Amino acid sequence: MRKIILLIILLAGTFHFSYGQADSLMNMLNNDASPKKETIAATFKATRIINGSSVQSLGAGVLDFRISHRFGQLNQGSQNFFGLDNATTRLGLDYGITKWLMIGIGHSTFNKEDDGFLKLRILQQQAHGMPITLSYYGALSIQTTPAPTLPPGDKWDFSNKLYYAHQLLIARKFSKSISLQLMPTLIHYNLIDSSKFSNNTLALGIGGRIKVSRRIAVTGEYYYRLTNADMLYSGQKTYNSFSIGIDIETGGHVFQLMLSNSQGMTERTFVGQTTDSWDKGALHFGFNISRVFTVVKPKEFRNTGGKGW
């Protein structure tokens, strides 16, 4: 009987020791576990900072109707109503195919240009992991103005009207209020003013956003041309594009107001063909209006009978 009691006491002690060790081991594992990699959202509020694209993308099944407007030069005086008589407009439709891929098309009255683009998100910033968001942006534009009158025997090719843009969008949201973005950019022009210039313009853009209230943010962007800095466009000197603006969120709208020395609203125009300068007071007031619509509901909401929408 004594042997049986002793065996029971021994087993109970062993079980208690083992359980305590296992509990301590689990506590150690829990303490050493890496933090959850939370995705950082809303680096920018809109899919464009001002003129250039941001890393922000539309959700899957979301359609964005955009109206962009740029007035003429403010220093034109009352003769042209301070630029209002020389306004240009771009109408665009952007669509989110997946959460990492969006496409868009548009038409601009500036040089009568049609354009299309795609934006592909490659990396997403995380709270305890990936430090940046990285996207690729590629665009094609076609200038639809009539072909010029050429001397007999000369040929005007359709390819002369084509332009291409490639960008890497590298952004980081440093806090709830501050986001910065770098934009290495390549613009290819099939037709340029002179053979002394390159068909390829390399530029480095930098943009940012400072949130000043729940619904208002100050934005800015600058594109510095690394090549073709002295390139002419239609015989005129060109300048680096610099823009500042204010984002105002109003429910389903994002209303952007800006001042820029660029009147063009596609990459090929504002990066390499800006003919106005800040130091000469040749500025353009403008705005972007964005209105989003859910065209295709996400899977988790398709069978909810519309609840939550």
Q: What is the domain partition of the chain in residue ranges?
A: 62-148+155-297
Report the alpha-carbon distance of residue 207 to residue 217 in Å, rounded. 13
Task: Report which of residues 190 and 4 the model is more confident about.
Answer: 190
Q: What mean pLDDT value characterizes the chain?
A: 85
User: For 90-104, how does the pLDDT look when each residue is reduced to its tens digit (9 = 90+)?
Assistant: 999 999 999 999 999
Report the alpha-carbon distance of residue 41 to residue 43 in Å, rounded. 6
pLDDT classification of 14: cutoffs 50, 70, 90: very low
Residue 31, both tokens: 């303490």
Residue 83, both tokens: 């630029």
Report the alpha-carbon distance of residue 174 to residue 167 in Å, rounded. 22
pLDDT classification of 88: cutoffs 50, 70, 90: very high
Residue 109, judged by CB atoms within 10 A of its CB (0-12, 13-18, 19+), counts as middle
Mean pLDDT value across residues 34-40: 76
Hey, what amino acid is at 123? L
pLDDT score, position 35? 63
CA within 13 Å, CB half, 303 = 2
Report the alpha-carbon distance of residue 232 to residue 228 in Å, rounded. 9
CATH topology assigned to domain 62-148+155-297 = Porin (2.40.160)
pLDDT score, position 302? 54
pLDDT score, position 2? 52
Min mean pLDDT across 15-19, 146-150, 302-306 is at 15-19
User: For 102-127, how does the pLDDT look when each residue is reduced to its tens digit (9 = 90+)?
Assistant: 999 999 998 899 999 999 999 999 99
- Taking alpha carbons only, the member of 226, 209, 227 closest to residue 218 is 209
DSSP H helix total and E strand total for the chain: 2, 14
**């989003």: which residue's tokens?**
292
Whether pLDDT at 145 is above 90:
no
Whether pLDDT at 17 is above 50:
no
CA distances in angstroms from 192 to 115, 199, 239, 276, 309, listed in the order given = 19, 7, 16, 18, 50
pLDDT score, position 78? 66
Give Cα 72 distance to the centre of its chain.
Answer: 25
Whether pLDDT at 208 is above 70:
yes
Report the alpha-carbon distance of residue 182 to residue 256 in Å, rounded. 20
Residue 7, both tokens: 């065996």
Whether pLDDT at 220 is above 50:
yes
Q: Is 29 helix (H, G, I), strand (E, B) or coil?
A: helix
Residue 180, both tokens: 């910065």
pLDDT score, position 241? 97
Report the alpha-carbon distance of residue 297 to residue 299 in Å, rounded. 6
Contact 238, 261 (CB under 8 A): no
Report the alpha-carbon distance of residue 46 to residue 55 in Å, rounded. 9
Task: Report which of residues 54 and 192 the model is more confident about.
Answer: 54
Q: Is 266 helix (H, G, I), strand (E, B) or coil?
A: coil
- Taking alpha carbons only, the member of 96, 142, 155 closest to residue 115 is 142
Min mean pLDDT across 66-75, 89-98, 199-208 is at 66-75
